[in-house]
Structure 1
């Protein structure tokens, strides 16, 4: 699971010393996380298409099973793992809050899924939802390919619930569509 942070701003302002300092600082902070050891790789990464755009990449290694999970296969009932997803979301949010990153952040798909699910759980009984899948919201920025905002879709009796989440983890909108009774 990868978190992308843009601490450098404008690509023309990059300095090798600052890049190393940002990576070292973030790595040290993660190592001192009071919630326990989190195996991570912290590096710089170029996500620019046609021009350099350096960002800091934080990869939480798959061996960190308490924070790593997969978005479910489509048509899977949410209730099967809702409690576990809620726990993972709270742990991950706690880590992000503790890191208190003030720079623009691009969150992984899994985190966006949890944000959408959390929003729905506030408004209805999310355990009855069936996950239908996700769609990306296209962007004009070629550097954001693979990092687009997303819409997550769920089915609940005769409703389709769609939640759009920005790459930074903010809810863009939530919409419910009533299906005909014969659908």
Structure 2
């Protein structure tokens, strides 16, 4: 298999995993209707939490993380020279799933899985920054954006140069998708977890 073909297959592998809309599927299975009709309208765990069902939100978080982790691990076995493309594909799939007319989530949990798949050290940095920022601010969007940036920085300083570019691209995408959140943050209007 030539290099270009391997990249395409890795990207498709990641995209197919990433595009599974677990938040939507789980809320419907739990009889809670369409999660896209509440809160932010996203299919991610943060919006699922707004239904009030913590168990379904936790399951969504775990599965969204898994759909980032698994394609990266599989790519390491099948397409070792194109792992970054699988990582990018997973996040693109979550954010722009073909099954939902390309309207998905914002990629935070899926990128957590991607980060752990690329290297546990990157995933650890991601998780620690997410937890610390969330604990201090209680703002989910701020924690997520901080974590995606931390993953790219960690890859650079921990010696995973092959993954820096893809993590920077993913971070830029995730931040772009949070532009409405950023606007609210600047106005001190972004909701806090546990707040009204």
> Normalising by structure 2, what TM-score?
0.32
Larger Rg: 1
Higher helix share: 2
Higher strand share: 1
